[in-house]
Structure 1
C-alpha cells in the first residue's frame, strides 16, 4: 500500500509539474506577444483582444494571466531587474566595494536599455504614463540593499539613511531614462549620465566641508 501511495503521489506531482510548465510557457508566450505588439504599434493602440488574437488564444486566457494591460508593463520591469540580479550574482558583484557595486548594477541596467532602445522607449514611456513606474519601490529597494551592504562594511557613513539613498539613486535612474527616450537619436550617453549622477551622490557637492 505504501509503495502504491508513493507512486500515486509521484504521478500527481509530475502532473502538477507538467501543468505548471505549460502554464509558464503560455504566460511567457503572452508576455512576448504583447511586448512585440507594443513595440510595433504602441502600448495605447494595442488591445487585449489583439494580444489574444496574435497569441492564438481566447481573450479570457489573456485575462487569466494578466488581469490588466498594465500588468505586462509591471512584468517587464520585474524581468529586467531579475536578469540584472542574475548577471550580477554570476559575477559575485556583492563582494565589490559599494561604489563599484552600484556602478555595476546601473551599467547592467543601462546595457539592457541600450541594446533594446525601441522596446525601452515604448515600455518605459507607457510605464510612466499608465503604470506605477515612479511609485513602485522595487528598484530603490535593490539599490538600497547595495548601499546597506557597503554601510555594514564601513564604506558608507553610519548616519546615512540607506533607504533614502536608494530612493535618490532610483530617481536619478528614471529621470535619465525618461529624458534619454524622448529624442531620436539618443540625446546623451546614458551610461555616462548615470555614472556622473552616481559620482555626485557618492562624493557630494560641497568642497572641503563635512556634510
Structure 2
C-alpha cells in the first residue's frame, strides 16, 4: 500500500517514549494510513472496518481498540492536519508575526496541505461534512480564536472584537471555501487566492491599523 507524502507528514512529530506506547502509536498510524488509502480508492461509504483491518494486516478487534467508529478516522485526519500546521508554524516562530500575517500563514499552510493532496481532501472533507462533525467541531475555531486573542493582548485587534466570534467567522470562511473547492472537478478556483481574498475582507474588521486606515 502506498502512503501519500501528506499522510506521512501527518504522523505525530513527537512519538510516545515508552516501548508499549510507541508500539500502540505505530499500530494506530498503520490503521490510519490504511483507512485513508481505502477511503480515497474505494470511497468512504464503501469502506468497512473489516477492510481497514485487512489492509493494515491486523485483527478486526484491533481497529475498534483504536477507532471505535469509522468516523473516528475523519476526526483523526483533522487533528493531524492541524497538528502539522502547528508544527510548521512553530518551527518558523510564527507567533512573533503580527496577528494578520499569522492568520494568513495559518490558512495558507492549511491550503497547502489541501492542495498537495486534493483527491484525499475531496474524499475526507466531503465525508467529514456529511458523516462527521467537521462543521460542529470547534477545534479550528478555537485555534483561530487563540491567535486573535493573542493579537488582542498585543493591542493589534480592535476594541470590542470578540476573539471567539472572530474564530468562528474565520473557521466558517475556511470550511465553506474548502467545500466549494472540492465539490467541482477540475478545481473551480485557486484555493490560496480565494482564501487570501476572503481575509482581505475580514481582517479590516479585526485589525486596529487597518480599521483606522479605512476610517481615514
TM-score w.r.t. length of structure 2: 0.87
Shift of 1:198: 1.1
- Note if 1:74 corresponds to 2:75: yes
Alpha-carbon contact 2:141-2:171 (below 8 Å) kept: yes
Measure the CA separation in 1 of the matches of 2:49 and 2:69. Answer: 8
Q: Which residue matches 2:40? A: 39
Structure 1 segment 45-194 matched on structure 2, within 5 A? 45-194=46-195
Measure the CA separation in 1 of the matches of 2:83 and 2:169. Answer: 21
Measure the CA separation in 1 of the matches of 2:20 and 2:106. Answer: 35
Shift of 1:158: 2.1
Across the aligned residues of Structure 1 and Structure 2, the Cα RMSD in angstroms comes to 1.7
Give structure 2 stretches of 5+ with no counterpart. Answer: 1-16, 206-210
Q: Number of matched residues?
A: 194
Alpha-carbon contact 2:38-2:52 (below 8 Å) kept: yes
- Runs of 4+ aligned residues of structure 1 deviating over 3 Å after TM superposition are none
Measure the CA separation in 1 of the matches of 2:156 and 2:20. Answer: 48
Measure the CA separation in 2 of the matches of 1:44 and 1:103. Answer: 34
Q: Give the greater-gyration-radius structure (CA).
A: 1
- Mark the CA change 1:209 to 1:45 in structure 2 (over 3 Å): closer, same or farther: same
TM-score w.r.t. length of structure 1: 0.89
Shift of 1:209: 7.8
Measure the CA separation in 1 of the matches of 2:36 and 2:188. Answer: 25
Shift of 1:87: 0.3
